[in-house]
Every structure is written in structure tokens, then in C-alpha cells.
């Protein structure tokens, strides 16, 4: 039997905190390190023990869950639970693996835990040097269980950061997970084809159908451009190709 996944939970709502604990107690091979009433208490616990997983409310007094995540130099996997959907973009900017909106159905919480379990097992079973292999042609390989899967550059729509992992979204609607950081991937994929648009996303420039100073559109999909990335993205995508009104 594999070792249990350890977690710390922080939520300032007494009732919801207890409800979440009760739901998590039903999940096999899951071990609670601490249950905290706020993010400051969770930060103290993190200095004593480092869990596999943080389950955080967003709005908490003194320090929000997102502010806690931003303050950490080493991040475990993070699942946010909030009463408001509006914080989701900020949550994924700190590489959260999931964002749940209260009230959370037990089945939805279980899916989030299963996702965390899959990522942890992947990290334990795949040597880092084998997770991603660039190819001499216009493709790369990722380790998927016991096999290397080839992905053509032209098939990639965009890539999403999950901390030490990435989600690779393909043109045909499929999604692949690879044990490689977005920063590492950015250094290995051709800059002529791929461009980083925020802390969270990198896109295939050939798939961009529209762009403004805030968003990139990939057909019906819209992705937010990070404020510090705007100038570089506009230049990298448009260059001198935009039709000027005046010459």
C-alpha cells in the first residue's frame, strides 16, 4: 500500500470547515496533518510539516488563501475552495490544481482529490529527466505511464501551468499532463512557435485568432494576458505585421 497523501486544511467558516473534514475522512489513504481556522495558522503549520496538499479557502481574515500561496517559496499541490467564482483566475496564477465553489458536492471534492493523487503518483514514479524529451523534428515526447507519447508542435493549442506539472491542451480537444514546469518547457520549445502570455499560460502562436492588450483568443477560447507580459506578447505575436491605419 502506498503512503497516504498528507494535507492541511484552512477555512475560517466553522461549519464548512467541519463539513469538509467529514467529507475528507471518507477518502481512503488520505492523512490530515492540521485543520486551521485561518491562513496565518496554516502558515505556522507549514513551517513544522510540509504536506503533499493544501486545501484552502480564499477569503480569510488577516491573510487570504491566495496571499498565503504567493508567500510560499515551496508550494505543495493546492486546491482552493471559495464561496466566490471570481477568484479563480488569481488562484490559477499561483498554480492551483483545482478551484471549487461552495457549496461543493462530495463527488466534486473527490475528483479534486483524485487529481492530486494522480499528480503525486506521477511525480513519485517518473524520473524528472524522463518526463519531457524534445525531438529533432517539430515534436516532443512526454512520459505517459510506461510509454513515451509523441506530441506534434502543430497539434498543441495552449499549455497551462500546474506548478511542477503542465496541462497540454491539443487541437483535437484532448489534454495531456506532463511532469515538467512551464518555465522549463518555455526554455525547450521553439520561441518562433510558442509564447508565454502569463505565469499560467503559454500558447501556440499559429493558433491565435485574435488579440488585444488583455486577452488572446484561440478560436472560441479566451486566455488572459498577464500585465507584465503585455508588451512582449503584442510584439511577439504582431511584430510588424499589424496593418497600420496611417503610414
pLDDT-flagged residues of the chain (< 70): 1, 128, 240-247
Q: Which of 125, 140, 161 is the last residue of a domain?
A: 125
Residue 247 included in any domain: no
* Same domain as 69, residue 13: yes
- Give how many domains the chain has, as a whole number: 2
pLDDT digits (tens, 9 = 90+) for 76-104: 999 999 999 999 989 999 999 999 999 99
pLDDT digits (tens, 9 = 90+) for 186-212: 999 999 999 999 999 999 999 999 999
* Same domain as 140, residue 114: no
Q: What CATH number is attached to the domain comprising 52? A: 3.40.50.2300
Q: Which residues pair with 31 in a beta bridge?
A: 6
What 8-state DSSP symbol labels residue 232?
H
Residue 35 included in any domain: yes
* Same domain as 147, residue 195: yes
* Same domain as 121, residue 11: yes
Residue 245 included in any domain: no
| pLDDT number for residue 243 | 46
| pLDDT number for residue 101 | 96
Q: Which of 93, 125, 157 is the last residue of a domain?
A: 125
The C-alpha atoms of residue 208 and residue 190 are separated, in whole angstroms, by 16
Q: Note the pTM of the prediction, 2 decimals.
A: 0.85
* Same domain as 153, residue 95: no
Q: What CATH number is attached to the domain comprising 153? A: 2.40.50.1020
| pLDDT number for residue 130 | 81
**Gyration radius of the chain over CA positions:** 20
Domain that holds residue 80: 5-125
Are 201 and 194 in contact by the 8 Å Cβ rule? The answer is no
Contacts of 31 (CB under 8 A, 6+ apart): 4, 5, 6, 7
The C-alpha atoms of residue 192 and residue 212 are separated, in whole angstroms, by 20
| pLDDT number for residue 126 | 82
Q: Which of 90, 125, 160 is the last residue of a domain?
A: 125
What are the cell numbers at 60? Answer: 480569510
* Same domain as 164, residue 111: no
Closest to 144 measured CA to CA, from 180, 176, 174: 176
Amino acid at each position: 500500500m502506498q503512503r497516504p497523501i498528507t494535507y492541511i486544511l484552512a477555512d475560517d467558516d466553522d461549519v464548512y470547515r467541519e463539513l469538509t473534514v467529514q467529507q475528507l475522512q471518507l477518502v481512503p489513504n488520505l492523512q490530515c496533518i492540521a485543520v486551521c481556522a485561518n491562513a496565518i495558522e496554516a502558515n505556522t503549520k507549514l513551517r513544522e510539516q510540509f504536506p503533499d496538499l493544501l486545501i484552502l479557502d480564499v477569503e480569510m481574515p488577516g491573510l487570504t488563501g491566495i496571499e498565503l500561496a504567493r508567500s510560499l517559496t515551496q508550494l505543495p499541490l493546492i486546491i482552493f475552495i471559495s464561496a466566490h467564482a471570481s477568484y479563480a483566475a488569481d488562484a490559477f496564477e499561483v498554480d492551483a490544481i483545482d478551484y471549487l465553489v461552495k457549496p461543493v458536492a462530495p463527488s466534486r471534492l473527490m475528483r479534486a482529490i483524485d487529481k492530486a493523487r494522480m499528480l503525486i503518483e506521477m511525480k513519485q514514479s517518473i524520473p524528472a529527466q524522463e518526463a519531457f524529451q524534445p525531438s529533432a523534428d517539430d515534436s516532443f515526447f512526454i512520459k505517459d505511464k510506461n510509454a513515451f507519447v509523441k506530441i506534434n508542435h502543430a497539434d498543441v493549442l495552449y499549455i497551462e501551468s500546474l506548478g511542477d506539472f503542465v496541462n497540454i491542451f491539443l487541437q483535437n480537444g484532448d489534454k495531456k499532463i506532463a511532469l515538467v514546469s512551464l518555465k522549463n518547457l518555455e526554455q525547450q520549445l521553439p520561441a518562433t512557435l510558442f509564447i508565454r502570455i502569463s505565469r499560467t499560460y503559454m500558447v501556440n502562436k499559429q493558433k491565435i485568432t485574435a488579440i488585444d492588450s488583455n486577452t488572446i483568443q484561440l478560436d472560441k477560447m479566451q486566455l488572459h494576458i498577464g500585465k507584465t507580459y503585455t508588451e512582449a506578447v503584442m510584439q511577439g505575436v504582431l511584430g510588424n505585421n499589424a496593418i497600420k491605419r496611417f503610414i
